[in-house]
Structure 1
Amino acid sequence: MRLLIKSAKIIDSESSFHKKKMDILIVNGRIEEIGSSLKPSKVDKEVKLEDLHVSRGWFDSSVNFGEPGYEERETISNGLKTAAKSGFTGVAINPETQLIVDDNGAVTSLLSKAAREVTIAYPIGALTRQAKGKELAELYDMRQAGAVAFGDYKKPVMNSNLLKLALQYAQNFGGLVQSYPQDSKIAGNGLVNEDENSTKLGLKGIPGLAEELHITRDLAILEYTGGKLHIPTISTAKAVKLIKEAKKKDLDVTCSVAIHNLIFTDDLLTNFDTRAKVLPPLRTKKDTAALFKGLKEGVIDMVTSDHFPVDIEHKKVEFEHALFGTIGIETAFGALLKLTGDLDFTISLLTKGKSRFGIKEAQIAEGSEADLSLFSPKGTREFTREEIFSTSKNSIFINSEISGKTYGIIAGDKWEIQE
């Protein structure tokens, strides 16, 4: 299969073609030639789009689709199609399903269902059996089947010795352990950030202490055991400080932040809109400022949409009874670009994280496998519900301004391109 991309501005700070408008010829899934005004003798498809830009393929380190068990929220097939339309060539899928991904067979089944799609699925296996936090799951077997990390989604490992054992055991095969940062006893039955707004609204709060206490413990265990630890979706200013100090000690720790926690604060909760009920909760302006600074300084290693589809029966209900979570993969590029106002920085954020999960990165160079995201940074618009391709529509970004648009992806000899 021969595919020709015409007049695309390449955004890749490590490429000699950075910010140059070039043609790219892809043959059988590999970049055969990059040049000006290419005129190959034969092509099966020509891609020529308004204000076309390309970068290395984007990666999201935390998405959920529901299948198996919660297909009414999202299937693997439609979820990966949504990711492709949104510019992501790879996504790490959490084990937050009815049938928990906690053994070799479950990982194999997920990969089998995802095999035909353009966006590549990278399974995250549960850290503990059935994600119950009592005993370790079959980590090595899942790694052999294709799992890229291990963690219980939004479920903290409250047993300190269990986390110690996980970090020690995973070192034998270079496994990446994830630990969700929340002390359940401190968080209690909290629904939103604990501060003035929670008091005004009469809603139970989750103090930043719950996150910070857990991170402090996890880092102490990591310092003792060694190993590789990833802390997903931090949300407080002090969390940034704690991780910055840990990195100064050369601890092998990384962390991520959810895009909505960068942009929105708990001021959004005044009308009890359940789309804004997320975990970790939306915090304060002080926190969002510290998170953004942490990104700029490299303390926070990656951003994620933390995409979590929730069907209407579990979201459009009283605030107390609604499930936590928002979808966000479709707005990830536009929301980040609107926030940063810096295309190079936005693309650097969207392309980070693969190496931490042991995923090979493809270069924009002749001879490399095609792994490209296609987009335009032009323009600003209000995001609407009608634009959502996901099965669930629980987006916190509805009626928010976002910038640019995504055209799709090319991954190997497959593509998903909106023309």
Structure 2
Amino acid sequence: MSQNLLIKNGRPVGNGYDGNSELDIRIQNGTITEIGENLDQNGDEELFDAAGAYISGGWMDMHVHFREPGFEHKETIETGCRAAAFGGFTEVACMPNTKPATHTRDVVEYIRKKAEGEAVSVHPIGCVTKDRAGKSIAEMADMKKGGAVAFSDDGDPVFNSHVMRVALEYSSMLGMPIINHEEDLDLSRPGHMNEGEVSTRLGLDGTPGIAEETMIARDILLAGFTGGHIHVAHISTRKAVDLVRQAKKEGINVTTEVCAHHFDLTDIEIEKRGFDTNVKMHPPLRTQDDVDAMIEGLADGTIDVICTDHAPHAIEEKEAEFIYAPNGIIGLETAWSITVKRLVEPGVLTINQVLDKLVIKPREILNLEIPEIAEGKKANLTIFNTDEKWTFSPSEVRSKSRNSPYLNQQMTGRAVAIFNNNRLVENTIGG
């Protein structure tokens, strides 16, 4: 059903708007038809008062795990979309470590079909290799025809260098990126946290940063050799950022992303929180120097995208001894507040610069249409603020899982609503 809507008193930002002026936006049948001051509500229109909040093109998270098909006890496409909408995201790209793995066109089309009717657009990422086993290339061209936007074996790396070479060559013919989970397994296992001072003190096997950096270096060289596009998933170390920075200077087709928690938390949290499994993730939380490097990389443009690596796990899975608990945390609901705390409030990035990493760059990488605030364009919008105080209590979790290190913490800034696919989703607190 179409939704005709008049958004009042919003402050558009991006597309030539500076966020300083309050304007109204009229939406008819999913299309922006009028932008101006003091617009009158038509009889068939719903009214949404943005009350001075910013309005931007809809945000995109290009790295989430919605678990369906196969692991619906952790998350479903429906509950994942609910979490995304609450976090301000109108589009997501979901990783293929499902069961069956997203390695054929029928699974890609199943995910797209399940997401029909949601306000959040879901774009499947297909596997690089069959069953994510790392041995033979999956049916890339067929998956692209079914709607896949990239290829990855995320959760595991494409470990075989020859397979990665072939994947880069083949994907480049399709004009699509390979997103690699950068990890040299022979160096990283059986690590349960960052290898360093804290892991030594706690007596836990650690994963050294070089396990990530070695694989990134290999992939950069292969991308330079093949001309393919390598996208470095969830970057986390200073040397990794340096490698990507240098590769970009050399003109190699490499892009990268950073998760919000990797520019916020450090490995000391594992000690401070008494082995809380909600601070166990992969790549692991690193050192303060690495956190600083993530922020520097965001500031100078080395890091293209802010993402979440939203990774739901059921309560009984996370309530285990630290070394046995699965890696990963949910992140969609809290990413914006972390971004405000670490990037916007300290003046590291302007709102427009942050939006470049949430709105524009992920879609450029995945060859998707970039939303615009302009008359005649499809309405794909996020309405948000940077100053509202709220608590991320368990009742505010929209995901099916609860594995977050930010539960019961006070947050600053939130998305108050999204509009996409001709649907308005209002986010209420305490309701």
Fold shared by both chains (TM-score > 0.5)? yes
Find the counterpart in structure 2 of residue 413 from structure 1.
Answer: 422
Find the counterpart in structure 2 of residue 2 from structure 1.
Answer: 4
Find the counterpart in structure 1 of residue 298 from structure 2.
Answer: 295
Range that drifts further, 32-41 or 316-325: 32-41
Could you give the per-residue CA deviations for residues 80-99 of structure 1, whole angstroms, max 9, x where no partner exists?
12211221110000012121
- CA shift for structure 1 position 41: 3.4
Give 1:375's match in structure 2, choosing from 373, 384, 390. 384
Could you give the per-residue CA deviations for residues 287-326 of structure 1, whole angstroms, max 9, x where no partner exists?
0001100000000010111100000121110001000000
Task: Give, in whole Å, the separation in 2 of the partners of 1:224 and 1:246.
Answer: 12
Q: How does 1:229-244 map to 2 (within 5 A)?
A: 229-244=230-245
Find the counterpart in structure 1 of residue 160 from structure 2.
Answer: 159
Task: Give, in whole Å, the separation in 2 of the partners of 1:273 and 1:345.
Answer: 34
Task: Give, in whole Å, the separation in 2 of the partners of 1:400 and 1:357.
Answer: 33
- CA shift for structure 1 position 18: 4.0
| Helix, strand or coil at the partner of 1:33 | strand
Q: How does 1:194-273 map to 2 (within 5 A)?
A: 194-270=195-271, 271-273=274-276
Letter of the structure 2 residue corresponding to residue 417 of structure 1: E
Could you give the per-residue CA deviations for residues 213-253 of structure 1, whole angstroms, max 9, x where no partner exists?
11111111111111111111010000000001100110111
- CA shift for structure 1 position 380: 3.1
Query: Identity of paired residues, percent?
Result: 37
8 Å CA contact 1:337, 1:346 repeated in 2:
no
Change (3 A) 1:339 1:286: same
| Helix, strand or coil at the partner of 2:117 | coil
8 Å CA contact 1:2, 1:42 repeated in 2:
no
Task: Give, in whole Å, the separation in 1 of the partners of 2:33 and 2:25.
Answer: 8
| Helix, strand or coil at the partner of 1:378 | coil
Does 2:196 match 1:188? no
> Stretches of 4+ moved more than 6 A in 1?
none
Range that drifts further, 379-388 or 282-291: 379-388
Which ranges in structure 2 are unaligned for 5 or more consecutive residues? none
Task: Give, in whole Å, the separation in 2 of the partners of 1:378 and 1:3.
Answer: 25
Could you give the per-residue CA deviations for residues 374-411 of structure 1, whole angstroms, max 9, x where no partner exists?
12222334422221111100012224342112222111
Find the counterpart in structure 2 of residue 319 from structure 1.
Answer: 322
Range that drifts further, 39-48 or 116-125: 39-48
| Helix, strand or coil at the partner of 2:60 | strand
Letter of the structure 1 residue corresponding to residue 370 of structure 2: E
Does 2:394 match 1:393? no
Task: Give, in whole Å, the separation in 2 of the partners of 1:30 and 1:267.
Answer: 48
Letter of the structure 1 residue corresponding to residue 357 of structure 2: L
Letter of the structure 2 residue corresponding to residue 9 of structure 1: R
- CA shift for structure 1 position 17: 6.0
Find the counterpart in structure 2 of residue 347 from structure 1.
Answer: 355
Task: Give, in whole Å, the separation in 2 of the partners of 1:156 and 1:197.
Answer: 26
Find the counterpart in structure 2 of residue 11 from structure 1.
Answer: 13
Letter of the structure 2 residue corresponding to residue 267 of structure 1: I
| Helix, strand or coil at the partner of 2:388 | strand
8 Å CA contact 2:70, 2:99 repeated in 1:
yes
8 Å CA contact 1:15, 1:364 repeated in 2:
no
Letter of the structure 2 residue corresponding to residue 144 of structure 1: K
- CA shift for structure 1 position 158: 1.2
| Helix, strand or coil at the partner of 2:382 | strand
Could you give the per-residue CA deviations for residues 52-80 of structure 1, whole angstroms, max 9, x where no partner exists?
22111000010011111111101111111
| Helix, strand or coil at the partner of 2:362 | coil
Range that drifts further, 374-383 or 114-123: 374-383
Find the counterpart in structure 2 of residue 29 from structure 1.
Answer: 30
8 Å CA contact 1:275, 1:315 repeated in 2:
yes
RMSD after superposition: 1.3
Task: Give, in whole Å, the separation in 2 of the partners of 1:41 and 1:328.
Answer: 38
Could you give the per-residue CA deviations for residues 101-144 of structure 1, whole angstroms, max 9, x where no partner exists?
10010001100000110100010001110111111111110011
Give 1:308's match in structure 2, choosing from 302, 307, 311. 311
Task: Give, in whole Å, the separation in 2 of the partners of 1:7 and 1:357.
Answer: 33
Task: Give, in whole Å, the separation in 2 of the partners of 1:54 and 1:371.
Answer: 10
| Helix, strand or coil at the partner of 1:163 | helix
Task: Give, in whole Å, the separation in 1 of the partners of 2:235 and 2:402.
Answer: 24
Task: Give, in whole Å, the separation in 2 of the partners of 1:339 and 1:273.
Answer: 23
- CA shift for structure 1 position 16: 4.0
Structure 1 length-normalised TM: 0.97
8 Å CA contact 1:374, 1:407 repeated in 2:
yes
Q: How does 1:50-89 map to 2 (within 5 A)?
A: 50-89=51-90
Task: Give, in whole Å, the separation in 2 of the partners of 1:77 and 1:333.
Answer: 21
| Helix, strand or coil at the partner of 1:264 | coil
Structure 2 length-normalised TM: 0.94
Task: Give, in whole Å, the separation in 2 of the partners of 1:96 and 1:129.
Answer: 11
Does 2:340 match 1:331? no
| Helix, strand or coil at the partner of 1:377 | coil
Task: Give, in whole Å, the separation in 2 of the partners of 1:400 and 1:133.
Answer: 40
